[in-house]
Amino acid sequence: MTVSAGSQITDLTLHDHACLTFGEPEELFDLTAAFVRDGLSSGQKVVWLSDAGPDRVTAELVRRGIAAERAMAAGQMVAESEARLLPGQAFSAGHAMGWLSGQMAACRRERFPGLRVAVDMSWALRPVVGVEQLLDFERGIAAAVPDTAVSVLCQYDRERFDPITLATATSVHTRSVAAATYHADATLRICRQYAPPGIRLAGEIDYKNSEPLALALAEAIRLEGDITVNMAGLAFIDVSCARMILDAARGLAGSRAAILRCREPIAARFALLGAAGIPGLSVVSVDDR
């Protein structure tokens, strides 16, 4: 059975104040990329404050097929470090809300139909003066967003923030968002990928986890468009699971493209199983990042 939060990232709309929880950078970039993609495609302005910095953000968006550089050149997108919220390495909820109000005013002045803001809250894990005002900032957002053409996505690392902070932060948001997850344990994670659409596997998989893999593939196939199976974080796959993925690609009958992203040893396994003979299938080798 699919395990998910109350909302999917693709459900978000104007005047949402959503709490996104993630477990690894790839998951964060995937979910936020979908948030950015949907905003840009609807003509909204998008602002992303990231712990990774603007260069990494741009590269991750471009890798996912999002024209981030063009949007930035046109003034439709802004990518900045979350240090924007920390003048003098100190946090003030009042300063942060002033920054958000400025972004809202700029959006209206520039005549965009709406504004999407993504804010990485990882700065609150560091010894920052004023960190106790984090929830004041969240409550300020909650008060500012209703009845506006603005949506704010607040990002929390569920592996690093303590459960009490996560629970309290979630309670002041209108939506809770995480990746739809089909399987998660110490050795394997299978979840939906949102940008580009498909599924993502990390860890090691064999026949014992064929059921959640089949469910993930079936749900991906039901969506429109091409399908990406992202296995960049997968260290091992047995023959039965590899064949299941190839059979799913073969079933698309060339009407839709299937892309497998995986490390070279796994790419070699797919090659031995006949991946090259399946119409519309591409196997892309990636590094171990």
Each residue of 19-39: pLDDT tens digit? 999 988 999 999 999 999 999
Residue-level pLDDT at 1:
32
Work out the percent of the chain whose per-residue pLDDT is above 70.
Answer: 97
For the chain, domains (ranges, CATH) are 9-177 (3.40.50.300), 181-286 (3.30.750.24)
State the distance between the two ends of the chain, measured CA to CA, in whole angstroms: 30
pLDDT of residue 289: 47
Mean pLDDT of the 90-118 span: 97
Of 185 and 5, more confident:
185
In this structure, how many other beta carbons lie within 10 angstroms of the beta carbon of residue 284?
Answer: 13
Is the predicted pLDDT of residue 2 greater than 80, yes or no? no
Q: Which of 24, 14, 17, 16 is nearest to 179 (CA)?
A: 24
Report strand pairing: 175-177 vs 281-286: unpaired
Residue type at position 27: E
Tens-place pLDDT, residues 39-60: 999 999 999 999 998 999 999 9
Whole-model pTM: value is: 0.89
Two tokens, residue 39? 């905003």
What is the share, in percent, of the chain residues with pLDDT greater than 90? 91
Residue type, 50: S
- Determine the pLDDT at residue 4: 41
Lowest pLDDT segment from 118-127, 177-186, 247-256, 273-282: 247-256
Query: Strands (DSSP E) along the chain, which ranges?
Result: 17-22, 45-50, 77-81, 115-120, 150-157, 175-177, 181-184, 188-194, 197-205, 227-237, 258-263, 281-286
Task: Give tens-digit pLDDT for 187-220.
Answer: 999 999 999 999 999 999 999 999 999 999 999 9
Give pLDDT, residue 141.
97
- Look over the chain and give the mean of its residue pLDDT values, rounded to a whole number: 94
Residue 287 has pLDDT above 90, yes or no: no
Sign for the pseudo-dihedral over CA of 129, 161, 24, 20: negative
Q: Is the pLDDT of residue 239 over 90?
A: yes
Q: ω into residue 196 within 30 of 0, thus cis?
A: yes
In our burial notation (b when 16+ CB lie closer than 10 A, e otherwise), range 88-107 reads eeebbbebbbebbeebbeeb
Asked if the model's pLDDT at residue 94 lies above 80, the reply is yes
Q: Binning pLDDT at 50, 70 and 90, where does residue 288 land?
A: low
The confidence score (pLDDT) of residue 255 equals 86
